Amino acid sequence: MANQYFVFRQIPEVDTEFTVENETAVHHIFTVMRAERGEKLQFAFDEGKVGIVEVVDPVNHTVKLVDSAVNPTELPVHVTVAVGFPKGDKLDFITEKSTELGASEIWAAPFQWSVAKWDSKKLAKKQEKLEKIARGAAEQSRRQLIPSVSLFDKLSELTDTFSEFDHVLIAYEESAKAGERSILGQTLASMTTGQRILIIFGPEGGISANEIELFERNGGQKIGLGPRIMRAETAPLYALSAISTYFELLK
């Protein structure tokens, strides 16, 4: 199966030759992978369009679009994952796996019980790293779009976005302990194609009562994710897997 690369340009007409100009794509295709004349590659173009190209001239980075009919890989709903800043490199892991599982956006913010403390300079470097991870994971998993990554300085920047979503859910440990298991399923059953859902997950220390109150005051709804208590880096993947299963395998 052909490797996929994001080339950040409009898709041309079939049989059109064009030059690959994105430096990252050029380096990976022609230097790292040493693509040869006649080799088939899968390109992801702007607006989530995907096509198969054939290498025409590897020296001048020229290719030709030979097919634009590629099966869609994006979830029918837009899922944003928001997490409290976790320890170490867990956010790297969350970003990579959330991309593979279909998240549209990956956000992180400082929660009351976050151990990790990042200033603006560190946030900028971290976001740049995470964007590269998301791009690589999107190419590997043949996504049509690269999830956007946002790291917030303040928790209020997260709550300010709530009105942009059709549903805001809060994965809350106490709800899971109390046996709440129905709201996620009910929410997914009510959603239609193109709607947006935000799911919030706490850091290792969890979500404080004050934060729950803030989230609920802004329209969030607490949910449980089954009977088991999961780690900060596991819960987002559980939720995304459930959403993918519901929309892509069961409907």
Whether 50 is in a domain gets the answer yes
Say which CATH number the domain at 110 has. 3.40.1280.10
Q: Check residue 121 and give its pLDDT.
A: 85
Tokens of 73: 């890989």
Closest Cα partner for 167 from 214, 145, 206, 200? 200
Nearest to 25 by CA among 47, 48, 51, 44: 44
Residue partners of 122: CB distance under 8 A and separation at least 6? none
Are both 82 and 23 inside the same structural domain? no
Phi then psi for residue 147, to 5 deg, are -60, 140
What are the pLDDT tens digits along the chain (251 aa)? 678 999 999 999 999 999 999 999 999 999 999 999 999 999 999 999 999 999 999 999 999 999 997 788 999 999 999 999 999 999 999 999 999 999 999 999 999 999 888 888 889 999 999 999 999 999 999 999 999 999 999 999 999 999 999 999 999 988 888 888 899 999 999 999 999 999 999 999 999 999 999 999 999 999 999 888 899 999 999 999 999 999 999 87
Residues 114 and 87 grouped into a single domain:
yes
DSSP 28: I
Contact at 8 Å (CB) between 7 and 22? yes
Q: Which of 216, 214, 166 is CA-nearest to residue 187?
A: 166
Two tokens, residue 87 = 């320890």
User: Is residue 17, in this structure, part of any structural domain at all?
Assistant: yes
Question: Do 41 and 90 fall within a single domain?
Answer: no
Give a yes or no: residue 187 inside a domain: yes
> Closest Cα partner for 215 from 203, 207, 224, 225?
207
Same domain, residue pair 85 and 44: no
Contact 203, 144 (CB under 8 A): no
Structural domain span for residue 158: 78-250
pTM metric for this prediction: 0.92
Q: Are residues 62 and 85 in the same domain?
A: no
Q: Outline where 141-182 has alpha helix (H).
A: 155-159, 173-177
| Residue of 74, 72, 73, 79 whose CA lies nearest to 188 | 79
Domain count for the chain:
2
**For the domain that residue 17 is a member of, what is the CATH number?**
2.40.240.20
pLDDT of residue 141: 95
pLDDT of the residue at 196: 98
pLDDT, position 1: 63
Name the region of 186 (left: φ>0; alpha: ψ -120 to 50; beta: rest). alpha
Burial 158-187 (b: 16+ CB within 10 A, else e): bbebbeebebbbbbbbebbeeebeebbeeb
Instruction: Indicate if 87 and 160 belong to the same structural domain.
Output: yes
Flag whether 73 is in a domain: no
The residue type found at 148 is: S
